[in-house]
Amino acid sequence: MQVYKFGGASIQNAEAIRNVGNILKKFQGDQLLIVISAIGHTTNKLVALTNAYLKLEPTATILLEELKQDHFQVLQELFPEQHPAIFDDLNNAFVEIEWLLEEEPGDTPEYIFDQIVSIGEVASSKIVAAYLNSIECLSTWVDARNYIKTDNNYKEANVDWVKTEAEVRKTLPAILNKGFVITQGFIGGTSENFTTTLGREGSDYSAAIFSACLGATSLTIWKDVPGVLNADPKWFERTEKIHELSYHDAIELTYYGATVIHPKTIKPLQNHNIPLFVKSFKNPEETGTKISGVAPPVSIPSFIFKVNQVLISIMPKDLSFIIEENLSQIFQTFHAYKVKVNTMHNSAVSFSVSADYEEEKIQKLIADLSINYHIKYNTGLELVTIRYYNEETIERVTLHKDILLELKSRHTCQLLMKNKPVMQ
């Protein structure tokens, strides 16, 4: 059996969903589990809705109405002759949010976030399942929350692999014998059946979890790009497709911030030796990229860009050396504020760290660190990681830039930079 994952862009409107239907029609009769993300930018809107609700702002209800309208619009286009069951079904998904909004927020923001934001995937998967059945691609909708079992670390839940594998194996193989299985990415459930989410963009990870637990022969992630490219077309004019990639290289690229696949996706696949294909839903016949255990070395350099970086330099106030004891205290503080470290570097009396500049979080972190350390920081920086770098590629990305930090290992070079001031 195989697992397919379709992201938000592939189902962003009725036409896109019809295209997905055309792709899937060709696989009728195959054992296929299909993981679906929320439609288009639904999740961002649901996040805005959650924030408004938490601040008791009236925009929450307006955003909900907009989202409902967007989804019903898609349904109307897919089922012009109406289709009562799915219209009711979709309405029921949004009623969950309506009920929540009627009460004042009474739980933790993280818990509330997961209850609201998860509805995006519930809604989209219901629409896709109904549409596939209407074009005679027999499909069963299943609730991922009954299969992906997690702890209650809301917003970034950890998977309980033993329970998840047991649930998946208990019922899914029989359902797969009846036709396609449609389920949601991104969401899971606790042992008390509360909804959790696995972290933003986590649908790829969901697909990998299902693949691993079912022993799939392969996972295919359908994207709006032809495969894994050596740079994000958003930042680079000329990009090249990487035809084959090892799990190891894929993990490194996603770790440094390549957004093409969620970083947690590769490990479960590697553990079970399941190949991952990244293909274009716009050109489904093209080969895409294959990620597996047996790939030739990558022959072209890859570039990963992260903007809006902050470089924080941390110096003990008593001018003591940076030793393990300080480091463990510093890391604990980063962990407490959930700040992810992108690069780090230490000298005898100072330790420097770069991270995404999420202002509120970083300012709190800095205030806390300032109790025991002198802190200096620099914002508005850009972090470029080059995998399989050479001097020419470094020159290319550092043009007109001041380099604040340069880290090199055998295969990877990371440059933290600022634009050079423009001379008058």
Binding site for ligand ASP (CB under 6 A): 7-8, 37-38, 43, 120, 185-186, 200-203
The verdict on 120 binding Mg ion (CB under 5 A) reads no
Query: Rounded to the nearest whole angstrom, what is the least distance from the CB of residue 261 to Mg ion in the complex?
Result: 12
Q: What DSSP assignment string belongs to 361-384? A: HHHHHHHHHTTTEEEEEEEEEEEE
Contact partner at residue 343 from Mg ion, ligand ASP, none, CB < 5 to 8 Å by partner kind:
none
Among all chains, which residue has been given the structure tokens 């549409």?
A: 131
CB atoms within 10 A of CB 328: 10
Kindly tell me which of 37 and 196 has the beta carbon lying closer to ligand ASP: 37
Residue 242 to residue 228: CA distance in whole angstroms: 6
Query: Rounded to the nearest whole angstrom, what is the least distance from the CB of residue 201 to Mg ion in the complex?
Result: 5
Contact partner at residue 200 from Mg ion, ligand ASP, none, CB < 5 to 8 Å by partner kind:
ligand ASP
Kindly tell me which of 37 and 309 has the beta carbon lying closer to Mg ion: 37
Kindly tell me which of 124 and 196 has the beta carbon lying closer to Mg ion: 124
Residue 399 to residue 422: CA distance in whole angstroms: 13
Kindly tell me which of 120 and 316 has the beta carbon lying closer to ligand ASP: 120
Kindly tell me which of 205 and 389 has the beta carbon lying closer to Mg ion: 205
Q: What DSSP assignment string belongs to 306-371? A: EEEEEEEEEEETT-----HHHHHHHHHHHHHTTPPEEEEEE-SS-EEEEEE--HHHHHHHHHHHTT
- Residue 131 CB contacts under 8 Å (≥ 6 apart), including other chains: 17, 18, 21, 78, 79
Kindly tell me which of 7 and 268 has the beta carbon lying closer to Mg ion: 7
Contact partner at residue 120 from Mg ion, ligand ASP, none, CB < 5 to 8 Å by partner kind:
ligand ASP
Spatial contact of 285 and 301, defined as CB atoms under 8 Å apart: no
Site string for Mg ion, 180-209 (x = CB under 5 A): ------------------------------
Site string for Mg ion, 7-46 (x = CB under 5 A): xx----------------------------x---------
Positive or negative CA dihedral for 252, 414, 357, 315? positive
Query: Rounded to the nearest whole angstrom, what is the least distance from the CB of residue 32 to ligand ASP in the complex?
Result: 19
DSSP-derived 3-state class of residue 243: coil
Size of the site for Mg ion (CB under 5 A): 3
Residues in contact with Mg ion by the rule CB under 5 A: 7-8, 37
